[in-house]
Amino acid sequence: MSVRRKTIRYRKLLAATLVAGIGLTGAACSDNGTGGTGGGGDANASAPLDPKTKVTITIDCMPPATKKPELKEWNEDVAAFHRSYPNVTVEGRSTTGQCEDPAAFAAQLKGGTEPDVFYTYFTDLPQVLDAGQAADVTPYVTARTVPTLGDIDPTVLNALKDGGKLYALPTSDYTMGVLINRRLFQQAGLNPDQPPTTWAEVRADARAIAKLGNGIAGYGEYSAGNNGGWHFTAEMYGLGGNVVNSTGTKADVDNAAGRQILQTLHEMRWTDDSMGQTQLLKWGDLQKEMVAGKLGMFLAAPDDITYMVETLGGHYEDYGMGPMPGGHATLFGGNDYMFKKTDSPDQIKAGIAWLNFKTLTMGKGQFDYARTKADGLPVGLPQPEFYTGATKRQDDRLKAASATMPVDNFRPFVDHPVPGRAEPPNAQQIYKVLDNAMSGVLTDRNANADSLLSTAQSQIDQILANGQ
């Protein structure tokens, strides 16, 4: 046989080996592709974790090394938890920046590589269910395993349910309001203890602040990265509107409330010149402007202040909050921990025990305000606010006793609670469309609100009909 033919045969052998190898590698790396949700089934789910069973759970959102006080508290909590549950090993997964990076999280879900107990936003539930990565924890979460369960706001728990099944436990929640720069309010001769509660007041205050000059804007708004659509939705809720009809099948933006929002923003931008010239802003941009003393107001959640102080170097005493303009409703959201579909019943029980200790027990974990204060971390923000009844009263009392910031700055927000409303279906696609309406009025002097809303209405209808 010639060398050439041997080569061919050898190449065939090599190719076959490679193909087999690649196939096996591919099979090993591919997702399982099938399987329903709602796993973690255990006939004895409500029974406590067997103390003889050795369990290891991985949990994300462990503070990174750069956040020394938070990491110290995490390690203390892990040690304290281990004393109560010596059979459970908690392995934290550290994340830099925010606990969830949406793009990385989406990839994790696709690959099924999220930790055993993983951090999500309330709005992630459909995405996690579609990926087949969520375990049904309904039978595991009871008054025995989570003693404060009865005092958790049902609206919050409902956000974590699908088809009556519970998939997560909350750790924090927020409602949106108007975040103000108290220093600029004072400089403009406005009363920072009385933030605006209507769009007419927002416009008037913004005009007064912008008159300070020196590149200071009275009011800031997002119009890029789907954030503009997110805020437009919150503003619609505030005026009693919505962005889709009650059945979620048709758009509902081309109406009086939508027109009022776009026209007000257009007039603030172009007639009053109270919104600055730089637009197409995303989350993070307005916070920087406010910390730099260049912005008077924007719509935000209380934890934006934490970011502004801890990351950007702002000062708590400079900021305050008022309720959502209009006051009919406000967009609510929050974060929670879900359980991986492949978790064993013991891992789910251990995860629930950890979350109960770390995030759902007064005086422990995140509610150990005395320790938080001693570690130089902020206490006093109106967040989380998902408890009701006796637990809420206890939380308020503990928080007030250890407050590290002027809690009166948030009095207008806390004393005028606005009902929270969840995000619409297909939220991100709808926000993408509404971004165009927002960027339209903020970047085009000749923008026509009616035309923008009409286009948005038909495009959202198309998205909903398309069933994306």
Partner 1 sequence: MNRAPFTTISRDPSPDGPASTAARARRKCDAPDGMGGQRDRAGLARWVRRNLTAHGFLIGSVLCFAFFSWYPMVREVILAFQKTRRGRTTWTGWRNLQQIVHDPAFWQAWRHTLEFTALALLLGFLAPFLVAIVLNEFRHGQGYLRALVYLPVMLPPVASVLLFKYFYDPGYGLFNNVLHTLHLPTSQWLQSTHTALLSVVIASTWMNMGSATLIYLAALQGIPGELYEAAELDGAGLLRRIWHVTIPQTRLVLSLMLLMQVIATMQVFTEPYLLTGGAGPQGSTTTVVYLIYQYAFNFNNYGAAAALGLVLLVVLAAFSGVYVRITRRGDD
What single DSSP character describes residue 137? -
Candidates 178-186, 192-200, 246-254, 458-466: pick the segment binding partner 1 (CB under 8 A).
458-466
Write down the least CB distance from residue 376 to partner 1, Å.
Answer: 32
3-state secondary structure of 126: helix
Q: Is 466 in the site for partner 1 (CB under 8 A)?
A: yes
Q: Is 457 in the site for partner 1 (CB under 8 A)?
A: no
Indicate which single residue of 20, 22, 256, 401 sits in contact with partner 1 (rule: CB under 8 A): 22
Q: Are 297 and 206 in contact (CB under 8 A)?
A: yes
Q: Is 164 in the site for partner 1 (CB under 8 A)?
A: no
Tokens 């998902």 locate to: 386
Shorter beta-carbon distance to partner 1: residue 40 or 195: 40
Indicate which single residue of 16, 31, 50, 363 sits in contact with partner 1 (rule: CB under 8 A): 31
Q: Report residue 98 as tokens.
A: 């925010």
Chain centre to alpha carbon of residue 53: 35
Four-CA torsion 196, 202, 205, 207, nearest 10 degrees: 180
Q: Is 28 in the site for partner 1 (CB under 8 A)?
A: no
Report CA-CA distances (Å) from 261 to 90, 218, 447, 457.
48, 16, 13, 15
Indicate which single residue of 68, 110, 144, 393 sits in contact with partner 1 (rule: CB under 8 A): 110
3-state secondary structure of 205: helix
Q: Is 273 in the site for partner 1 (CB under 8 A)?
A: no
Kind of pairing between the strands at 217-219 and 420-421 = unpaired
Determine the size of the site formed for partner 1 (CB under 8 A).
67
Residues 6+ apart with CB under 8 A from 311: none
Which secondary structure element, helix H or strand E, spans residue 268, and what is its range? none
Which secondary structure element, helix H or strand E, spans residue 404, and what is its range? none
Q: How many C-beta atoms surround the C-beta of residue 391 within 10 A?
A: 20
Q: Is 68 in the site for partner 1 (CB under 8 A)?
A: no
Kind of pairing between the strands at 420-421 and 330-339 = parallel
Applying the rule CB under 8 A, the residues between 274 and 333 that interact with partner 1 are 276-282
Write down the least CB distance from residue 65 to partner 1, Å.
Answer: 24
Indicate which single residue of 16, 35, 389, 401 sits in contact with partner 1 (rule: CB under 8 A): 35
β-pair partners for 169:
337
Candidates 28-36, 72-80, 247-255, 344-352: pick the segment binding partner 1 (CB under 8 A).
28-36
Applying the rule CB under 8 A, the residues between 383 and 442 that interact with partner 1 are 426, 428-429, 432-433, 435-436, 439-440
Q: Is 12 in the site for partner 1 (CB under 8 A)?
A: no
* Prior bond of 384 cis (ω within 30°): yes
β-pair partners for 179:
298, 321
Cα separation, 253 vs 132, in Å, equals 33
Shorter beta-carbon distance to partner 1: residue 5 or 52: 5
Q: How many C-beta atoms surround the C-beta of residue 211 within 10 A?
A: 14
Shorter beta-carbon distance to partner 1: residue 42 or 162: 162
Cα separation, 185 vs 405, in Å, equals 19
Indicate which single residue of 224, 377, 405, 407 sits in contact with partner 1 (rule: CB under 8 A): 224
Q: Is 215 in the site for partner 1 (CB under 8 A)?
A: yes
Q: Are 323 and 416 in contact (CB under 8 A)?
A: yes
What is the DSSP code string of 304-359?
HHHHHHHTT---GGGEEEEPPTT-S-EEEEEEEEEEBTT--HHHHHHHHHHHHHHH
Write down the least CB distance from residue 394 to partner 1, Å.
Answer: 38
Contact letters for partner 1, residues 339-358 (x by CB under 8 A): --x-----------------
Cα separation, 284 vs 278, in Å, equals 14
Q: Is 210 in the site for partner 1 (CB under 8 A)?
A: no
Tokens 């916070």 locate to: 287
What single DSSP character describes residue 366? G
Candidates 105-113, 194-202, 237-245, 387-395: pick the segment binding partner 1 (CB under 8 A).
105-113
Q: Is 98 in the site for partner 1 (CB under 8 A)?
A: no
Q: Is 48 in the site for partner 1 (CB under 8 A)?
A: no
Q: Is 65 in the site for partner 1 (CB under 8 A)?
A: no
Write down the least CB distance from residue 273 to partner 1, Å.
Answer: 11
Q: Is 96 in the site for partner 1 (CB under 8 A)?
A: no
Shorter beta-carbon distance to partner 1: residue 19 or 401: 19
Shorter beta-carbon distance to partner 1: residue 106 or 204: 106
Cα separation, 335 vs 169, in Å, equals 9
Candidates 49-57, 61-69, 218-226, 381-389: pick the segment binding partner 1 (CB under 8 A).
218-226
Q: Is 133 in the site for partner 1 (CB under 8 A)?
A: yes
Q: Report residue 1 as tokens.
A: 């046989």
Write down the least CB distance from residue 454 to partner 1, Å.
Answer: 13
Q: Is 113 in the site for partner 1 (CB under 8 A)?
A: no
Contact residues for partner 1, defined by CB under 8 A: 1-7, 9-10, 14, 18, 21-22, 25-26, 29-31, 33-37, 102-103, 106-107, 109-110, 127, 129-133, 215, 223-226, 276-282, 341, 426, 428-429, 432-433, 435-436, 439-440, 443-444, 452, 458-459, 462-463, 466-468
